A and B are shown apart, each in its own frame.
Chain A
Amino acid sequence: MRVSMTVNGKAVSGEVEPRTLLVEFLRQHLGLTGTHVGCDTSQCGCCVVHVDGASAKACTLLAVQVDGSTVTTIEGLAQGGKLHPLQQAFHEHHGLQCGFCTPGMIMSAADLLQRNPDPTEHEVREWLEGNLCRCTGYHNIVKAILAAAQSMRGMAKAAE
């Protein structure tokens, strides 16, 4: 079956089996290996991408389901060679260790911050329910997301 979609701003298409998952299409057909697979029950969140602007687990979607959609992966988050504030904050606050859950964490957090630009620590922790990390104990991930939220609010204000 033929699928076409926009991935990180580029029109792409490919031949897939009906059972091909979006995450397989991204990793194997497009070589976008930043989206990871950490489980087989859609619990870990390592594969979170944005589909038409909202976060989604790329292991729960078939490639054919997103035919015609717009997909953003971790590789497409930095704009014009400049890191996204979340990427910057994860770096500054040591919000990653082995890095395996990181793309999913950042993509998930990016969706949170577009829905809720000023979350409490509690709201961040609740939002991250669908993303597992085994390295950081979440402490610095939460810290990084709160710091990114603050810096994004500052940027939004400056732009007004």
Chain B
Amino acid sequence: MTEKGIGARVPRKEDLRFITGRGRYTDDINQPGQAYAVFVRSPYAHARIVRIDKSSALAMPGVLAVLDGQDVAADGLGNLVCGWLVKSKDGSPMKMGKHPLLAQEKVRYVGDRVAVVIADTYAQAKDAAEALAVEYEELPAVVELAQAHDAPALVHDEVPHNLCYDWELGDKAAVEAAFAKAHHVTRMELVNNRLVPNAMEPRAAIGHYDSGQDAYTLYLTSQNPHVHRLVMSAFIGIAPEHKLRVVAPDVGGGFGSKIFIYGEECVVLWASKKIGGRPVKWTAERSESFLSDAHGRDHVTTAELALDREGNFLALRVNTKANLGGYMSTFSSCIPTYLYATLLAGQYKTPAIYCDVQAYYTNTAPVDAYRGAGRPEASFLIETLVDQAAIEMRMDPAEIRRKNFIPKTAFPYQTPVALVYDTGDYEACLDEALRLVDYAGFPARRAESERRGKLRGIGISCYIEACGIAPSAVVGSLGAGVGLWESAKVRFTHTGKVQVLTGTHTHGQGHETTFSQLVADKLGVAYEDVEVIHGDTEKTPVGMGTYGSRSLAVGGEAIVKACDKIIAKGKKIAAHLLEASEADIEFKDGKFTVAGTDKSKTIGEVVFAAYVPHNYPAGLEPGMEEGAFFDPPNFTFPAGSYVCEVEVDPQTGVVDIARFVAVDDFGNVVNPLIVEGQVHGGLAQGIGQALLEGARYDESGQLLTGSYMDYCMPRADDVPSFEVVTARGTPAAANSLGVKGCGEAGAIGAPAAVINAIRNAIGVRVEMPATPERVWRAIQSSPLAKAAE
């Protein structure tokens, strides 16, 4: 039984449908009588909509409806909302500009939704969308984050200086005092480059209004179908919650971008009713994804670290400007605040930290959570700043980190930025990473590279993140509009098979396998006898979905709690069947045994008795199905050490990643095969951010990087084979499984390791993405190059 239980490298049970082409993604679904939606999008970054003349589009063959912002307003539909209220320093609430489903009066970024055309076929809808006459009056655009404050235009007329909020965290006075007595201050300006999430499956939706039942069904690409249902019901007002079924079938990756409630999915659901109940399908083209999926990152930061003579960190002071884009997205306010500044202690015992953040609107696509969400920005800042400090203090970068690590004896550890780290052993991860990479042998490898005309560098990054999002009371006190518990139901059938219903959603993470392992282990049933069901609001209990590396740490723990209830009930039944006292029944490996005897009943026998209760405890309900909700008492804190070795070609500026070692503390690991895969994927995204990816708008607000020909995604020959170790865990305290979450680590830790390695190779720091051109230019300006002349 246990060869497929907790800790086993079980290949995934969900694979079969995907490797044979039988996955069922939203665009694979077609419904009888289905019509097609195509959105008309703004070609301008900032413009007033003067007139929309629908007549020519409506006259096109097959066109059923053309709907715009006025139709949305006429039907009284609500606006898209940001679900986390952040307050400014002065106590005033963030200034949320109106975000209608279809633009009203103004458009605020290239790709903003202006109208939708519904037609019998996709081709007809597309042709008619091109024929729709929209007259715009172009306005000056606010494009650059750094200039947003004093820009000549306002993205939202009611928001002065385009400033949504000016927020702070930490003890400013203590930080000022520490800086005043510092031996040395390391100061740095950083840009955290804007990224486009690019899940391989573009967003898609099929909305259907059934007039016979007066009920709605929406198939869509979602990481959290219940959250979609809640927002579409409570805030948009399309349908009452109990009359709306939301299904997220197989979903082709999310990385955050499919958490959010966007206009398009709402519109197709509403449009189905407008055209008399025919299903309406929309599938984004990749160009639309680039324009309209919420982007990630996009910070401009000044950071200062105060040190004493010995290299101890005294204080950290950070100012960040964060780009929100044209509108607030579903969780965009909390990313550059509570998921960012709270992580600025990193793995270090820095006693005083102060951070303030100004979040600005610009005429660009909305910015929200993307793999890591705030934590990559914090980690990149700390780990490049610490590296810079090591250089300035003439210390070894590993040594300065060791000197300042929170020692393993100090847990639980209260940081100066609100969080309490539960467990960790940072030095152990660093030691292991340096051993694996052969840190001591680096000078010899560098010399060997030099003989081939290459510059070799090594870079360290010791990241931390907060996962298992999140304790509801904590996030509630910080402004979250929802609770962040998770739910599960565990249901036995007559024949002893198990259905697990989870409120989380799997879109690549392998929950069907991991949760099956978990239940097989807890209940002593065969792994093959467990079926995991998710993604359908009509089947699963209300859940909050998958993001923030929470599915196992929060959702998995809810499953454990449901299993515990199954076992507790099973003990009552077994005691009755075995004519023993309930207190004497022990449960292990799928058997209820009277302690100290060989009298036992298998869980299958007990379950059968529960469904055929001919001989059954008086007063006990029949059946074997238990549900549980779990609200974690704390976040979990995965941490690790990454070491990257690069070889730079000084002639071309091309960076080759020669080695990448990742040692992660994820606490206990249920399936190492899946966990390593999560790290690999995160590392590639982190390396992508460091070397290749960057969304760029021109001065008029046109997206220059709007396709895979212009936006450089990591390809197979851009990344190396990784050396990943996940076996050094200190179990998490916030759940009984001791698991921490592994989905985002790679993307959080990798960028600083790569950028530090490049600096180590060429002697100067290069902004992300460190493209060959930037690296080559940096080499030309480097003291090393000057010395060579």
Contact = CB atoms under 8 A, between A and B. Distances in A.
B452 interface: no
B716 A33 contact: no
Contacts of A138: 680, 684, 714-716, 719
A94 B12 contact: yes
Given A19-B123, A97-B508, A137-B719, A39 B286 contact: yes
A36 B509 CA distance: 20
Interface in A106-160: 106, 121-122, 124-126, 128-129, 131-143
Interface residues of A, number: 57
Contact of A44 (B11, B251, B286): B286
B20 interface: yes
B677 A94 contact: yes
Interface stretch (B194-202, B349-357, B521-529, B554-562): B194-202
B674 A100 contact: no
A52 interface: no
Contacts of A131: 716
A36 B18 contact: no
A34 B21 contact: yes
Nearest to A90: B19
Contacts of B16: 91
Nearest to A38: B200
A142 B28 contact: no
Given A34-B22, A135-B253, A98 B508 contact: yes
Given A40-B707, A94-B677, A100-B25, A106 B201 contact: no
A101 interface: yes
A23 to B, nearest CB: 11
Contact of B716 (A35, A75, A124): A124
B719 A98 contact: no
A137 B716 CA distance: 8
B255 A134 contact: yes
A135 B253 CA distance: 7
A111 to B, nearest CB: 15
A137 B15 contact: no
Contact of B673 (A46, A94, A100): A94
Interface string A28-62: 10001111111111011010000000000000000
Contact of A74 (B11, B20, B28, B286): B20
Nearest to A133: B200
Contacts of B683: 137
Interface string B675-703: 01100111111000000000000000000
A157 B25 CA distance: 39
B18 A102 contact: yes
Nearest to B12: A94
B510 interface: yes
B253 A97 contact: yes
A78 interface: yes
Contacts of A77: 20-21
A83 B721 CA distance: 26
B715 A97 contact: no
Nearest to B197: A134
B509 A97 contact: yes
Interface of B: 11-12, 14-25, 27-28, 30, 123, 198-202, 250-253, 255, 283, 285-287, 507-510, 673-674, 676-677, 680-685, 707-709, 713-717, 719, 721-722, 746
29 contacts: A19-B123, A27-B28, A36-B201, A40-B287, A46-B200, A77-B21, A87-B19, A90-B15, A91-B12, A91-B15, A92-B11, A94-B676, A96-B18, A97-B510, A97-B677, A98-B200, A99-B508, A121-B721, A122-B717, A132-B200, A132-B715, A134-B198, A134-B200, A135-B677, A137-B685, A138-B680, A138-B714, A139-B721, A142-B716
